[in-house]
Structure 1
Amino acid sequence: MKIIQVTDLHLVTPGETLCGLDPLARLKACISDINRNHGDAALVIFTGDLSETGDEVTYRALSDELGKLIPPFRLMLGNHDNRIAFRHVFGGGNRDDGFIHSVEDTPEGRLIMLDTLLPGRPEGRLDDVRLRWLQQRLEEASNRPVFLFSHHPPFPIHMPLLDRMGIVEADALHALLEQHGNVRHIFAGHAHRPIAGSWRGIPVSVLRGTNHQSALDFSPDRIAITHEPPAYAVIFIDRDSVIAHFHDFLDRSAAYR
């Protein structure tokens, strides 16, 4: 099974720029590259910070571009997003609690997509309501493999400023994942960095956004914005492995000799 992960679009009003770049033009290039090379993907998952401002106009611009995307997709929210404006354009939301979380059952296991948005704050939250929802989804999965998608990483990446913006209830989250016992990977965004490793025995990965990036800076109280290449992840999942390729989709340097 092939899945594409795209994260941190940070869309602004069409025609405007962010960090000296055009987020909408970057998204268009990303979607074009996915269509050209991965139209056979089972799913494209956008792991949050769809918008920089949370304005409805940014979600309408996103909706227009998603109409051109060949594979099916799922949208998640990040700390820059606005649930109300998002719903005005895309609808959705759990009918019981209003959060934008969801599941997708596949032949390789269950994909769980979390809503970690806490309006007005950069860190992620999984309050009791969301943790109960997750527990129920894990119980439904029984002993099947689970693959978790979260905008905020629940694990430290050892960049202090970004680590203060992770998921507050990381320990409670881990307790649920450990109880299930078959969580094969956690995919996150938010950090704008290519990162891979493991968290308490669970493999994890993070990737760059489609617009600006975070510098590799381990200072305790700062982070710099860079123009490192944007990327999306090409993820292959089967019974034996989970493999994630980070693709710099604007790179046109390849040449056959």
Structure 2
Amino acid sequence: MLIAQITDIHLGFEPDSPGEFNRQRLDRVVAELRTMIPQPDMLLATGDLIDRGDRGSYERLSEALSGLPFPVYYALGNHDERANFAAVFPEAQFNSGFLQYAIETPAMRLLVLDTLEEGRHGGAFCEERAAWLTAELDAKPERRTLIVQHHPPIEVGIAWMNTDPAEPWTMRLAECLRGRTNVIGLVCGHIHRAVTTHWEDLVVATCPSTAPQVALDLRPIDPDVPDQRPLIVADPPAYALHWFNGRELVTHWQTAEDHTVLARYDANLQGMIQHMLAERPG
């Protein structure tokens, strides 16, 4: 099974701009996914879908992702607004006012969580959302399950983007997931960088953004002293591919740009490929 992921699209950062930079970057990623072989089985769009919560930007997002040859599933981030999203995507599956739902596939189950608290930059996961997750996990305890959300429950080392591990929402999420041997991982966004770590015996992977990326700077930050450090950089738009081989979930990150090819599979390299494959059992 192949799952594509995009995140932190931030459409509408340049309101009313027909040539918006973030839309151009999104279109480059979508063009790659549309023509990819093999095709993804689905696309996860994991929050900060638009920048200002407005309905018009959601309509442009719907247009940009229309006609893909695989289904698109959405999560919400801190720049999103539930009412305007629901107006443009009426098929969205809300539970008790939160965009939380299950995706059932032959290979695995995905549970999409809502970590949005409108007006807050960081994540949230209240008791009502936790109760829904617990009930869903209890309902199918043997089913391989991937957790999907916007905010990572981890401290990534970039001081202004960190999640404090003592935040109540992360502890509440951990309580839901602790000891669940069928949960194979957690994928999210928000950081605008490719990051992976272990948390609560789970692999957590964050997807880089289709919009500009967050600069990698691991120095402490003083909110009272602007030090001219770079915060946002125009590195290429990017996406993730999560490949499930029936045992492990393997994550690849890719940029949507021209890549200089240094070798191709031609007759000169055929012997090398034959030799490598012949070494493998079966």
TM-score of the alignment, normalized to the shorter chain, above 0.5: yes
Instruction: For 1:235 and 1:213, locate their aligned partners in 2 and report how far apart those are by CA, in whole Å.
Output: 20
2:182 maps to: 182
What letter is aligned with 2:258? D
Aligned twin of 1:194: 194
Match of 1:36 in 2: 35
Match for residue 172 of structure 2? 172
Match of 1:226 in 2: 233
Matched residue, 1:15: 17
User: Aligned equivalents of 1:218 and 1:16: distance in 2?
Assistant: 36
1:227-246 aligned at under 5 Å gives the runs 227-246=234-253
After superposition, the Cα gap between the structure-2 partners of 1:168 and 1:221, relative to the gap in structure 1 and judged at 3 Å, is farther
C-alpha distance in 2, partners of 1:185/1:96?
A: 23
Amino acid corresponding to residue 90 of structure 1 in structure 2: F
Shift of 1:54: 0.8
Secondary structure, aligned partner of 1:169 = helix
Give me the whole-angstrom Cα distance separating, in 2, the residues matched to 1:34 and 1:255: 23
Q: Cα deviations across residues 68-88 of structure 1 (Å, max 9, x unaligned)? A: 322111011100001111111
Q: Deviations over 1:160-190 (max 9, x none)?
A: 2211478641112112111433211110100
Whole-Å separation in 2 of the counterparts to 1:39 and 1:72: 15
- Percentage of identical aligned residues: 30
Deviates more, 1:187-196 or 1:233-242: 233-242
Displacement after TM superposition at 1:156 (Å):
1.5
Q: What 5-or-longer segments of structure 2 have no aligned partner?
A: 223-229, 265-282
Residue aligning to 2:267: none
Amino acid at match of 2:17: G
- Judged with a 3 Å threshold, the aligned counterparts in structure 2 of structure 1 residues 165 and 49 are, in CA distance, closer, same or farther, namely farther
1:131 aligns with 2:137: no
AA paired with 1:235?
H
Q: CA deviation at 1:141?
A: 2.0
Alpha-carbon distance between aligned partners in 2 of 1:177 and 1:149, rounded to the nearest angstrom: 13
Aligned pair count reads 254
Q: d(CA) in 1 for partners of 2:253 and 2:92?
A: 30
Sort the Cα spacing of 1:220 and 1:168 in 2 relative to 1 into closer, same or farther, 3 A. Answer: farther
8 Å contact 1:195–1:205 — kept in the other structure?
A: yes
Question: Hey, what does 2:147 align to over in structure 1?
Answer: 148
Q: Is the 8 A contact 2:7 2:209 kept in 1?
A: yes
Judge conservation of contact 1:6–1:47 (CA < 8 Å) in 2. Answer: yes
Distance in 1 (alpha carbons) for counterparts of 2:189 and 2:151: 6
State the 1:249 CA deviation. Answer: 1.2
Shift of 1:44: 0.3
- Would the aligned equivalents of 2:5 and 2:43 in 1 still touch at CA under 8 Å? yes
Q: CA–CA distance in 2 between the matches of 1:139 and 1:193?
A: 33
Asked whether the 8 Å contact 1:46–1:73 carries over to 2, the reply is: yes
Contact 1:2 1:41 in 2 (8 A): yes
Separation (CA, whole Å) in 2 of partners of 1:197 and 1:100: 26
1:57 is displaced (CA, Å) by 0.7
Q: Is the 8 A contact 2:154 2:164 kept in 1?
A: no
User: Are 1:106 and 2:113 counterparts?
Assistant: no
Structure 1 gap ranges (5+): none
User: SS of 1:180's equivalent?
Assistant: coil
Instruction: Give the direction of change, closer, same or farther, for the CA distance of 1:121–1:67 in structure 2 (3 Å limit).
Output: same
- 1:25 paired with 2:27, answer no
Give the superposition deviation at 1:254. 3.0
8 Å contact 1:48–1:78 — kept in the other structure? yes
Partner residue in 2 for 1:159? 158
Out of 73-82 and 37-46, give the one that drifted further: 37-46
Residue number in structure 1 paired with 2:68: 69
Larger radius of gyration: 2
- Give per-residue Cα distances to partners, 1:197-256, cap 9 Å, x unaligned: 211321111121001111111233376111112211111113221111101012343354
Query: What is the rounded CA distance, in whole Å, between the counterparts of 1:14 and 1:4 in structure 2?
Result: 29
Name the residue aligned to 2:258.
Answer: 251
Partner Cα distance (1:155, 1:83) in 2: 24
